[in-house]
Amino acid sequence: METIEEAGVDGLSLRQLARDVNVSHGAPAKHFRDKQALIDAVAMAGFESMNRRIRDAAQSYENLRGRFVSVGKAYVDFAVEHPALLTVMYSTKHHPDSSDELRSTGAQGIHLAQAMIAEAQEAGVLAPGNPETLAMVCFVSLHGTALLAAGGQLDGNSVEDVVIATTDTLWAGMTAGVPAAQVN
């Protein structure tokens, strides 16, 4: 993961990794059939780490809106801390040869968002709508925020301010038509 963050996927070499950890050049072959298998394992580990953060964030508040904001922050923070890894994670997940396990692990975050949205709808806090579509809209918005933040392209705005503005805007859109007394 460190090599990917420092040099990108193109800088990843099984031989160099073997040298870096002071083992024989053939040692990585005992664990990974090739460079792609190593990249798949790195992507899986990245999703597992990110999913842990998102799950922890989703449990950090009792208030549904607080949980929603916390999950958004957790996702963007992960992306800012690991921009190259995030790129590897999603490109590997969406590769035609990706494993079912990787696709399933990579989808856990969006499934958690769908469940949170459905829970908020059932509680009358959010307006009716398809939780899958709404979760995807939230992901697209926060992923865009994450990519811009990781690239230092927020034009002087703090990451936290942009995440709060993004989650506030998304929440406001999903509460449209719900009586104000129920929203908070």
| Per-residue tens of pLDDT for the chain, all 184 residues | 777 777 777 767 677 777 777 877 776 667 777 778 888 889 999 999 999 999 999 999 889 999 999 999 999 999 999 999 999 999 999 998 889 999 999 999 999 999 999 999 999 999 999 999 999 999 999 999 999 999 999 999 999 999 999 999 999 999 987 776 566 5
Domain 2-178 classification at class level: mainly alpha
d(CA 156, CA 144): 16
Look up the pTM and report it.
Answer: 0.86
Q: What distances in angstroms separate CA 100 from CA 90, 93, 115, one per listed residue?
A: 14, 9, 21
Write down the domain spans for the chain. 2-178
d(CA 10, CA 35): 10
